């Protein structure tokens, strides 16, 4: 049976400290073309009028968020984030209980993916809106993959056929996602993305191919790559 809902919400977990970023500030607050990485990511989502509200879980000691003009946006709401990404997303879902119905959609997007294209966002929504569970943006793996032992020695080559790199946004129904993340917490199951929690309930999320522009800021060198991409998208200082 097809579940119908044309209501959309978003969660952008931004409580991380970005330990791999090698900076005094979390990577979501690094500057990119005159704005923070987080601002670029949020502005992409806020450009879609169909998204009614964007929840931003932040660290309890965050001292940067309140300085951003987007923090005052009428469709943006902050909540206290958690120690892990899944904790922050669950906190955002708990806050959405006041607005969302079980069949409504929630897009969870990495704060550090500022280059997601509007065409990918629209394609994700258009492709998944009639599905039962939802899915995620992803990219097929083209590189040869090696499996190693603990000493960084190759022990085998991984068949890359049907292997995809998960990206965001990941889009799932509010009720199902809340159930999945709550179950993961109760079972002390470590998860690295929302799809993993959905899969643990026996669902098979759909993969929606994204463009190569949807990179994630992980190390400082990624900022220069993101700058080139954003300029190609027409973003300027």
Q: Which of 32, 54, 153, 43 is nearest to 107 (CA)?
A: 54
CA distance 39 to 34: 10
Summarised one tens digit per residue, pLDDT across range 22-69 is 678 899 999 999 999 999 999 999 999 999 999 999 999 999 999 999
pTM for the whole structure: 0.94
Helix (H, G, I), strand (E, B) or coil at 128: helix
Per residue of the chain (237 residues), give pLDDT as tens: 456 678 999 999 999 876 666 678 899 999 999 999 999 999 999 999 999 999 999 999 999 999 999 999 999 999 999 999 999 999 999 999 999 999 999 999 999 999 999 999 999 999 999 999 899 999 999 999 999 999 999 999 999 999 999 999 999 999 999 999 999 999 999 999 999 999 999 999 999 999 999 999 999 999 999 999 999 999 887
């Amino acid at each position: 049976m097809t579940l119908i809902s044309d209501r959309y919400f978003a969660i952008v977990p931004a409580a991380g400290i970005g330990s791999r970023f090698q900076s005094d500030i979390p990577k979501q607050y690094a500057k990119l073309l005159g704005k923070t990485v987080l601002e670029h990511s949020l502005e992409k989502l806020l450009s879609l009028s169909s998204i009614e509200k964007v929840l931003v879980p932040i660290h309890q000691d965050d001292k940067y968020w309140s300085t951003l003009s987007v923090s005052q946006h009428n469709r943006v709401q902050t909540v206290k984030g958690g120690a892990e990404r899944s904790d922050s997303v669950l906190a955002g879902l708990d806050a959405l209980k006041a607005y969302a119905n079980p069949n409504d959609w929630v897009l969870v997007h990495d704060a550090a993916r500022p280059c997601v294209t509007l065409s990918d966002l629209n394609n994700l929504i258009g492709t998944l809106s009639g599905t039962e569970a939802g899915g995620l943006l992803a990219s097929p793996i083209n590189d040869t993959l090696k499996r190693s032992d603990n000493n960084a020695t190759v022990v085998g080559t991984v068949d890359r056929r049907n292997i995809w790199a998960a990206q965001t946004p990941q889009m799932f129904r509010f009720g199902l996602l809340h159930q999945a993340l709550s179950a993961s917490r109760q079972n002390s199951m470590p998860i690295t993305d929302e799809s993993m929690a959905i899969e643990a309930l026996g669902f098979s999320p759909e993969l929606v191919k994204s463009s190569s522009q949807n990179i994630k800021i992980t190390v400082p060198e990624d900022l220069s790559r993101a700058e080139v991409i954003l300029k190609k998208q027409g973003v300027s200082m």
